[in-house]
């Protein structure tokens, strides 16, 4: 008997049901960071890399009205804006930190009183189902969000497992309690975005259905299964779409009330209850990329009970587990919040995109079985190849390998025979430029974290890089650059292709694929074709070989660059900074030039109207709030003044990351901004993913231990750390001095200790 | 070596490759019958019960324009009207003989000359891709159709296996040969019917995709895979839909030309070739209810080669096999044509609705695996329960059992917990009235042809019959009738529910389920509640128990009946004609009353504007062209003048069935009209499916042998047969006289011989 009790006790410990975690890192995460202004993060509940992102939406601004773009929609990429006074409801899918959007599927909203099926407006919330709320009554934690909905006197609590969102609504006494399911709602919605929606009331506690949209993803379907803890008293729906021509045959029923199957473009449904004071109605809401059957299986597998607190505790225990991959000692409480919130933000995606059975929807719109890997989606690769995937190679190599497997599955299903560019939910949305999947793949292969068939992966990279009809690539292959008169943003494309090509060459070399190595080493030099030595900047070249005449190195509009100017983009040769610096006149010219990036004064309106660049993310002419120059501060390491990297990095960390809702200087971009923070805080950064080299900066931690998946630990210590001591006097790896400001991944992977000796004075 | 040759020879014989069939019954089938006026049959190529119905469409009249019904569309239920001068193209799905429609998926059209992507009009075919044609250049056979497309000088030939259509286009020499794939085209189309379409050019010979519609079926998707025998030179498409809001991200490509993936609501694609004089381009076009992967597997399994003639021969051999289930000796060539075309029409559907793997889309929109049965769809049950499914119990019992298994799968997936009413392609379209699945199930169980779990089937019948919110059923269960003030067509519903309930009772009795038997025997009497003794007609009753005041026994409009009048419908108590006759005053009153049905004169315009009733199908007040009175001519058997049944039946056979394109007096209704013809020609008819009793009539055959699936044969012989000798003097079963004008199915199933002795004089 005693033995039995002991076993139960140990099991409880092991599964940490209700157990206080040894390290409560969850406490440091503030999901509100980035929800104000342009961070585009969401405050709701999600599990690490979870399929469900259950989060409040504070408004429903359409992407377009009558086919015209609605600029204000940009604020609502994640559905939530901190300064909004109302909450429309809680939807189940959100991107974290993107600069364009989609999703917002399946909004639920609990209400009391007279049934209202329209969402109402911010200024007149009482005319719809939405509700006013106060931040004082709001709480956001990893895998937990709660808020008091003032207009309905309902406390709403949310938690989530990987594929299932769980709602707990505490109602007042009411004979008119409702839960609204709005199938019209969505993020970046517009009048024709819903292609089809469908739902069935399977019984008095279970509803299933799907939503199919034509949005950023052109052909996207999400399936759901929703279960109530209490039987529905009655239910109904309203079809806000055009009268359906064939509806006649259904006329024998009143389909709007208590009729269990409905389909159409614009549907809102409601479910009525009677509640006692303080009565909790819980809802489990499961998603699937494949079928309602899949959603139901996900629900039954992941939450086979009705214990909300248990789900919350278990999901938070999972978060603690993930967050404990880095145990940091930091100077201030705010630093803890910034650090662990950044870590949290890097673990939000790419998101799981398969059922518990391994079934997922492929790019070919067929269902596939993921054999031997977890299928992920939401690859914002133009952003995340830079630091997020390299970060995963440090703290999540297994998941990163599966992300690569997911990219290769995408490749196998791609009619273009291409790896993803920007993909989500079984779609390629072609957003931004380059083919940075190859960077992610090369980085993992070069660092030894990709355990699959590297030759197969290389073949996919090569096929992608040779797809002529993709975005100027035919010209690039013919001329050695993308000509601006044939394809816009031509310099950005040329530079990024050249870097990606270098990545391919590295892998080819490692795998002894000489032909490929030759071809892509050659292509990697193509950055030189758009460098105009006469002015010292990258510059758009025309198909006749001449440089574009009218040219403004500061302007971000139609100068051959995307989301950046020539000034920033001219620094982009991550594969060979030394050659770039050489071209630009060597240390003597390059260092003051780079200095001026950070120190020059630009008028406030300068970057206005450039998507994804906002005032908050700018330091001088350096745009930290967007990606193209994320490596720039580290370029001093290739000059004779690496101490400037140390100074700049610490300055950026301070200026661009705050522990407040408006604490992010730009879109978090699916974790890229946060990954920059984490690397930089630890004192090193992957300037060129695809090499195993990190450039050293200046750590902001006092000490941090990375718990590697191979069981080893790698510790960074900053001796004599302080706000003023941003300069590095000396660095030791396992007590041996490093003579160059670089660290190899293989040394990190072996485990060990990197010791920085900090000082307030640069070591010149 | 000799042995080897012998084996090959025997194998060839066995698989009948290129082998002359022993009985060429295919020669007697004229698929053109019913293609003129209101037969609503299609002339194209299909395999028995095949998923693909590849047939020419002669016009594209929309179902509705700006939401308004377009009356002329009714002519195009099967896509083809014999008197049209042009062919728009060849689409892959068609109903046979329905009175409302859908489908017409994936129209292909070969053209030459300048590419034209719009279909053009009948009067100006040269302005579009359609072509003029002549019947002289047209040929229609089972599984084969060919026509010369005059405007393009292309001979088009079509054949089909179960799931794959095969096209063979003989082109002239042309540098501008095209094959157009019109994804906008459809039958009963309207502006918003296409919900979404999607296609990918997988390589230079393979295209895949799907079409999703909101039509008669509300949520329907058909997937395809199309393979060309010759590589495409170039290709493209045009999107006729509204500009897609998010198209911007795709702007980096010209998606209209040689771009391999396209999606939208309104797409037409084209594929360009260069052809030599007389060059044949073949196309294999496979369908799937599940996925493009499924369609491709269907194609590769069913037609793994490019031999058009072989496909045609094999499919025709299959048809010969099926048609040989009845070997008839008939008086004239026209009789052969009528008989075997009717047999052909009864074997067109229900159609196969699963991939070669057994995967199919269920009513819940999930994919399912058909374990141990073939899944069928297109259940036009209000029509087909009468004679088609009983006919299957004679000649296709195994398929009929699988149709019941398909209905039970529908039931399992139905959120209404109901068997199908009118279902097709994973949808319930709720067309017409009753729950006649129960009749089909009862008939098979009572005749011993359903081999599955009869109790499970009965449970499904009972659940269906108790679904209160279905079409007045709650009232019917409460009051014993459907009240006209609560639900229209109330008498038709009451009468048909009562018959269906009797079917349930029969099964319950057989399975010794006493409670069910009691309940439904009781309900089977409900016809009496709408019989108005004072006038001798069935009459709508109000919820207060009074009969509707204003009442016209001849009118078909708002008198409580659907697609019929009180006169015809008052004869509808198939479960108990004797009781009906008794109620109506016995033989003395009933016989002249029934006589007048056939002899009274109604003005020409009488049935005008009653859907599915056309002038051609009317004899007096008897409407043979529609179903409700199909049993009426056989009612004399329950009187003292059964010879009148004999006379009427032969008269109807002569008048309503001709061997010409306009030879059907009404919609063939998925084979119901043809099944009536076959039963009646053989001299017996199932007045009340669900009993094993057939009413005898007057055979039109000289002799016919039914090859039963149990290996036995049942022969009907009509001695002294002639056009004038329509009266039966004597009937012998296995040489023993039958004393009553009835035959039992069990006697038929045992095998044997039924001998009619014919005469020109009635035996009074």
CB contact under 8 A, A244 and B208: no
Locate A416 and state its tokens: 């273009």
Could you count the other beta carbons within 10 Å of the beta carbon of residue A423? 27
Query: What's the topology of domain A29-321?
Result: Beta-galactosidase; Chain A, domain 5 (2.70.98)
Confidence at residue A61, expressed as pLDDT on a 0 to 100 scale: 86
Q: Which of B366, B415, B472 is opposite residue A291, by nearest beta carbon?
A: B366
- Is 80 exceeded by the pLDDT of residue B503? yes
Q: What are the angstrom distances between the C-alpha of B445 and each of B407, B412, B517?
A: 14, 19, 15
The pLDDT assigned to B757 comes to: 98
| Mean pLDDT computed over B633-646 | 98
**CA B139 → CA A417, B106, B334, B394, distances in Å?**
44, 22, 18, 31
How confident is the model at residue B545, as a pLDDT?
Answer: 98
Domain boundaries, chain A: 29-321, 325-759
Q: Is the dihedral of CA B254, B259, B263, B268 positive or negative?
A: positive
A contacts of B249 (beta carbons < 8 Å): 216, 429-431
Q: Where residue B39 falls among pLDDT bands split at 50, 70, 90?
A: very high
Instruction: Tell me which DSSP letter residue B242 carries.
Output: P
Residue B748 pLDDT > 50:
yes
Decide if domain B27-321 falls under CATH 1.10.268.10.
no
| Probe site for chain A from B197, B246, B421 (most A CB atoms < 10 A) | B246
For residue A18, the model assigns a pLDDT of 38
Q: Does A192 touch chain B (CB under 8 A)?
A: yes
What integer pLDDT is reported at residue A352 of this predicted model? Answer: 98
Q: Residues A188-245: pLDDT tens digits?
A: 999 889 999 999 999 999 999 999 999 999 999 999 999 999 999 999 999 999 888 7
Residue of A218, A257, A264, A473 to mutate, testing the B interface (most B Cβ within 10 Å of its Cβ) = A218
Q: Residue B64 pLDDT > 60, yes or no?
A: yes
By Cβ distance, the residue of A252, A292, A430 closest to B249 is A430
For residue B247, the model assigns a pLDDT of: 59
What value does the CA radius of gyration of chain A take, rounded to a whole number of Å? Answer: 26
Of the candidates A410, A388, A460, A463, the one whose C-alpha atom is nearest the C-alpha of residue A686 is: A388
Asked if the C-beta of A611 comes within 8 angstroms of chain B's C-beta atoms, the answer is no
CATH topology of domain B324-353+375-759: GH92 mannosidase fold (3.30.2080)
Which residues of chain A does B471 touch, with a Cβ-Cβ cutoff of 8 Å? 252-253
Give B548's DSSP letter. Answer: P
Task: Check if the beta carbon of residue B264 is closer than 8 Å to that of residue B249.
Answer: no
Instruction: Compute φ and ψ for B344, nearest 5 degrees.
Output: -55, -45
Helix (H, G, I), strand (E, B) or coil at B132: strand
Please state, in angstroms and rounded to a whole number, the distance separating the CA atoms of residues B40 and B666: 8
Average pLDDT over every residue of B361-388: 98
Low-confidence ranges of chain A (pLDDT < 50): 1-21
Over residues B447-465, the pLDDT tens digits come to 999 999 999 999 999 999 9
Interface of A with B in 488-527 (CB under 8 A): none
Instruction: Look at residue A20 in the predicted model and tell me its pLDDT.
Output: 44
Q: Would an 8 Å CB–CB cutoff place B260 in contact with chain A?
A: yes
Residue where the block lists tokens 């459809």: B186
- Give the Cα separation of B168 and B155 in Å (integer): 8
The C-alpha of B482 sits at a distance from chain A's nearest C-alpha, in angstroms, of 13
Computed over its alpha carbons, how large is the radius of gyration of chain B? 26
Q: Is the pLDDT of residue B286 over 70?
A: yes
Mention the CATH class of domain A325-759: alpha beta
Residues of A within 8 A of B246 (CB-CB) are 63, 214-216, 218, 429
Give the closest-approach CA distance of A756 to chain B in angstroms. 46
pLDDT band at B499 (very low <50, low <70, confident <90, very high): very high
Would you say residue B6 has pLDDT above 70?
Answer: no
What integer pLDDT is reported at residue B609 of this predicted model?
67
Which residues in chain A are closer than 8 Å to B198, comparing Cβ atoms? 219, 365
In the predicted structure, residue B242 carries a pLDDT above the cut 90: no
- Across B457-494, b (16+ Cβ under 10 Å) vs e yields bbbbbbebbebeebbbbbbbbebbbbbbeebbbbbbbb
Task: Please report the residues numbered 349 through 408 in chain B whose beta carbons come closer than 8 angstroms to any beta carbon of chain A.
Answer: 364-367
CA distance B650 to B631: 14
Q: Which of B255, B260, B365, B431 to mutate to test the interface with A (most CBs of A within 10 A)?
A: B365
A431–B67 C-beta distance less than 8 A? no
ipTM of this complex: 0.94
| φ, ψ dihedrals at A595, nearest 5° | -55, -45
């Amino acid at each position: 008997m005693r033995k039995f009790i002991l076993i139960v006790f140990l099991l409880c410990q092991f599964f940490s049901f209700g157990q206080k975690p040894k390290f409560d890192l969850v406490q440091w995460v503030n999901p509100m960071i980035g929800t104000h202004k342009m961070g585009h993060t969401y405050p709701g509940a999600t599990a690490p890399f979870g399929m469900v992102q259950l989060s409040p939406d504070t408004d429903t601004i359409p992407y377009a009205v009558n086919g015209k773009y609605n600029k204000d929609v940009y604020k609502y990429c994640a559905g939530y804006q901190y300064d909004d006074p109302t909450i429309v409801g809680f939807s189940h899918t959100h991107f974290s930190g993107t600069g364009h959007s989609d999703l917002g599927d399946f909004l639920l909203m609990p209400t009391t009183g007279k049934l209202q099926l329209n969402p109402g407006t911010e200024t007149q919330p009482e005319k719809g189902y939405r509700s006013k709320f106060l931040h004082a009554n709001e709480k956001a934690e990893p895998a937990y969000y709660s808020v008091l909905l003032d207009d309905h006197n309902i406390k709403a609590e949310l938690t989530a497992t990987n594929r299932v969102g769980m709602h707990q609504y505490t109602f007042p006494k009411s004979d008119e309690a409702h839960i609204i399911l709005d199938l019209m709602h969505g993020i970046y919605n517009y009048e024709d975005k819903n292609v089809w929606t469908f739902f069935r009331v399977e019984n008095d506690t279970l509803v299933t259905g799907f939503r199919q949209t034509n949005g950023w993803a052109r052909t996207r379907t999400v399936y759901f299964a929703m279960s109530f803890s209490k039987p529905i008293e009655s239910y109904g729906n309203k079809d806000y779409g055009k009268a359906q021509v064939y509806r006649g045959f259904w006329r024998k029923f009143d389909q709007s009330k208590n009729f269990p199957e409905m389909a159409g473009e614009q549907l809102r449904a409601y479910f009525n209850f009677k509640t006692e004071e303080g009565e909790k109605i819980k809802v489990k809401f499961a998603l699937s990329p494949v079928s309602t059957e899949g959603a139901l299986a996900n629900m039954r597998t992941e939450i086979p009970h009705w214990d909300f607190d248990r789900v919350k505790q278990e999901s938070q225990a999972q978060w603690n587990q993930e967050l404990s991959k880095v145990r940091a000692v930091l100077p201030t409480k705010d630093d803890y919040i910034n650090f662990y919130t950044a870590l949290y933000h890097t673990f939000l995606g790419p998101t799981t995109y398969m059922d518990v059975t391994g079934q997922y929807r492929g790019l070919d719109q067929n269902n596939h079985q993921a054999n031997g890997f977890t299928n992920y989606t939401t690859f914002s690769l133009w952003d995340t190849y830079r630091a997020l995937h390299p970060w995963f190679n440090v703290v999540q190599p297994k998941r990163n390998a599966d992300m690569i497997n997911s990219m290769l599955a995408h490749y196998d299903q791609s009619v273009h025979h291409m790896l993803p560019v920007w993909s989500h939910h079984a779609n390629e949305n072609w957003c931004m430029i380059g083919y940075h999947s190859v960077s992610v793949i090369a980085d993992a292969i070069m660092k030894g974290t990709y355990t699959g068939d590297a030759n197969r992966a290389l073949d996919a990279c090569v096929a992608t890089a040779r797809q002529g009809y993709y975005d100027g690539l035919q010209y690039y292959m013919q001329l050695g650059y993308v000509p601006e008169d044939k394809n816009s943003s031509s310099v950005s494309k040329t530079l990024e292709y050249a870097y990606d090509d270098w990545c391919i060459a590295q892998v080819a070399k490692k795998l002894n694929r000489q032909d490929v190595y030759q071809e892509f080493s050659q292509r990697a030099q193509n950055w030189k074709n758009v460098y105009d030595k006469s002015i010292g900047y990258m510059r758009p070249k025309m198909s006749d070989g001449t440089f574009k005449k009218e040219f403004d190195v500061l302007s971000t509009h139609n100068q051959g660059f995307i989301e950046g100017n020539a000034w920033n983009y001219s620094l982009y040769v991550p594969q060979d900074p030394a050659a770039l610096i050489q071209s630009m006149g060597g240390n003597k010219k390059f260092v003051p030039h780079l200095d001026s990036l950070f120190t020059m004064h630009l008028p406030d309106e300068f970057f206005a109207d450039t998507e994804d660049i906002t005032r908050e993310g700018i330091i001088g002419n350096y745009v930290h709030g967007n990606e193209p120059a994320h490596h720039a501060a580290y370029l001093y390491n290739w000059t004779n003044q690496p101490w400037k990297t140390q100074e700049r990095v610490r300055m950026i960390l301070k200026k661009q990351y705050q522990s407040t809702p408006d604490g992010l200087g730009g879109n978090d971009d699916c974790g890229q901004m946060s990954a920059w923070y984490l690397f930089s805080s630890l004192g090193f950064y992957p300037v060129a993913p695809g090499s195993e080299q990190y450039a050293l900066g200046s750590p902001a931690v006092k000490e941090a231990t990375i718990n590697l998946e191979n069981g080893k630990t790698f510790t960074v210590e900053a001796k004599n750390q302080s706000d003023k001591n941003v300069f590095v006097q000396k660095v030791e790896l396992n007590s041996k001095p490093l003579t160059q400001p670089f660290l190899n991944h293989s040394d990190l992977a072996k485990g060990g200790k990197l010791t920085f000796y900090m000082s307030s004075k640069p070591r010149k």
